[in-house]
Structure 1
């Protein structure tokens, strides 16, 4: 397709990365509807491509996060990491397995619903999550953490995202971490979770799209990584509240377009 030219792929990645950088994430929730509605990939292909690009973008953020929160401090909260992983690894595998068996139309509607969920969580986590904390026992944190991890793993595999937009408020609510530490902990959970989902997708014949579209993937990845840095810089110039309202609106518009995608 003409829309998958090198320049178009880079600019698409740049726009996605910039949007993600504005909220401190990789932008996968914006990349997925773009892959479907603009670049013309069918549902499972788009999810697989999004998952791989999300993995690379998140992994590239590890050195930067290390400058913000020291790894020793992150590791001192390994209870959070292992609790969420106990659920998310299983959820990621099962979520990918379910996706490969769904009809395209059903998957489009499911993705649309999850995009609406992402918009709601984005606004709620910014305006309310910091004001809510639960006093939970170790056993309660374990149970709720595993269940939350499972649900996030499923969502991450269905949408091909890292899941940071769900992991960060979950870590803040259940484990009382501040938003900066929660961001670093989310990366440590999301990377193994994405690998688990990809391990299941790799068994699907449609995984070949990565080989067929490797040039497209490379250019979009490059644009995404540059865009994340650009978005982080733009955040210093634009009021946060305004940014979040615009991004939530874009997610809702994307949900509408994906739901009605033919």
Structure 2
């Protein structure tokens, strides 16, 4: 009976990961922000456990995506913009370490409220991008190099905090930042965002190792493997379907879905029966 439940749970995890990965892959995102509400609402994980499992999945998905993109985006193209990555990492590593440590000591209610707020902001950002777009860029938003570095560190700090709090790669924030702030081409910005995301997520992941909730990776190992496999295959499938649907319409739809799923999932702790849990 227990083996049947584990298998059924794994099957649902794979299908969910594939669906989310496919939709995210069609607009160049990993889909981690959509996995988080799913892990809490459907698979009944506690918020911190969901964040940790989501981050572990994101690490593998991002590593795979970086290797895959290297086929079309050569390493020397990234190396010529390595200063952008270092500038953002100067803030994101600190932000990820601080936010992960803060999340460890935060009561569940406050953590849920914070996750809800960040997810709603990301959903609104996706709607804004769908309406106005990012577009290719060739001119940095900030001309003064010193000011640009300062803005980059500040942006990295915020992005690192978001990535650690949600267990996401942060591409939905990194790509617009790299395109607008530094004037980098949007395709190259996608790969640069992965270069920044990987060490940022790794710092947050290592910070979470001191939590008892870290045991979720062992307790839910079958779900973790199935979700990761589905997410990777979905991201590949989504990349192959790129352009099948209008990007702005798909982004808008996913933004609305994120707003709805975040609200339905992380407002649940305000009900009396859930506060008693």
Q: In which range does the TM-score fall when normalised by the shorter chain? A: over 0.9
Distance in structure 2 (CA, Å) of the matches to 1:84 and 1:156: 13
Query: Which residue matches 1:222?
Result: 229
Q: Check whether the contact 1:20–1:231 (CA below 8 A) recurs between aligned residues.
A: yes
Give the number of the structure whose alpha-carbon radius of gyration is greater.
Answer: 2
Choose the corresponding residue for 1:130, options 128, 135, 156. 135
Shift, 1:48, TM fit: 0.2
CA offset digits 1:37-80 (Å, max 9, x no partner): 11100010000000000010010012221122111110111110
1:248 partnered with 2:252: no
Q: What RMSD over aligned residues (CA atoms) do the two structures have, in Å?
A: 1.7
Distance in structure 2 (CA, Å) of the matches to 1:20 and 1:5: 22
Paired residues for 1:156-195 under 5 Å: 156-195=163-202
Query: Which residue matches 1:98?
Result: 102
Query: Which residue matches 2:81?
Result: 77
Query: Which residue matches 1:51?
Result: 55
Distance in structure 1 (CA, Å) of the matches to 2:242 and 2:73: 20
CA offset digits 1:100-147 (Å, max 9, x no partner): 111111111211111111122223345243388513211011100001
Choose the corresponding residue for 1:111, options 111, 115, 124. 115
Q: Secondary structure at the match of 2:168?
A: coil
Q: Which runs of 5+ in 2 are unaligned?
A: 270-277
Choose the corresponding residue for 1:201, options 205, 208, 226. 208
Shift, 1:237, TM fit: 2.0
Shift, 1:236, TM fit: 2.8
Distance in structure 2 (CA, Å) of the matches to 1:118 and 1:55: 20
Query: Which residue matches 2:41?
Result: 37
Distance in structure 2 (CA, Å) of the matches to 1:234 and 1:261: 35
Q: Check whether the contact 1:136–1:174 (CA below 8 A) recurs between aligned residues.
A: no
Q: Which runs of 5+ in 1 are unaligned?
A: none
